[in-house]
Amino acid sequence: STSAAGVSIKATMGAGGNRVMSVAASTTIAGATIKAGTTDFDGQQSSGADIKDSDFMTVGYSVGGFNLGWGHYDSGTDTMTQIGASTSVGGLGVGVSSASADNGSAADTDSFGVHVSGDLGGAFWVVDYVNTDNGDGTESDDYTITFGTGF
């Protein structure tokens, strides 16, 4: 890993027969944190097909307690793009998110979520609502409640 001109760069290379190589970089421009990376798998699946390379890019920006984020992931066969926004209201964390997946030859998937979280001293809780359109004429509404502790 190294840094040059305000950009942090990290690279890894695997050992053995398949020399998987990953490279990622991050920087901050005008207050936005930008990260990107790629993985070159340089190998084949047991079926003989090449393993597809994976790429990602994210952008995050925070101003006045309001946070925005965008991310894109490409697995070589499928892609996923997600956006989100969050802030604090009355001591609670509140956020919304939207995601869209291009699943190659399968039906595309879209989702929308609303997220609320709180602090219980040494513990926390999160309530998530996510609506998913499966792209095949079906849709689901899912609610999740999570409790946890942190150290």
At residue 45, the pLDDT reads: 61
Long-range Cβ pairs for the range 105-114 (8 Å, 24+): 107/134, 107/135, 107/136, 108/135, 109/133, 109/134, 109/135, 110/135
Strand residues in the chain grouped as ranges (E) = 2-4, 7-13, 21-29, 32-40, 54-63, 66-74, 79-89, 92-102, 109-119, 123-133, 139-149
Output the pLDDT for position 48.
63
Coil, strand, or helix at residue 108?
Answer: coil
The band of 15, judged by pLDDT with boundaries at 50, 70 and 90, is confident
pLDDT at 68 over 90: yes
Mean pLDDT rounded to a whole number for the chain: 90
The residue among 32 and 48 whose pLDDT is bigger is 32
Q: Is the pLDDT of residue 47 over 80?
A: no
Q: 76-97, pLDDT tens digit by residue?
A: 888 999 999 999 999 999 999 9
pLDDT recorded at residue 125: 95
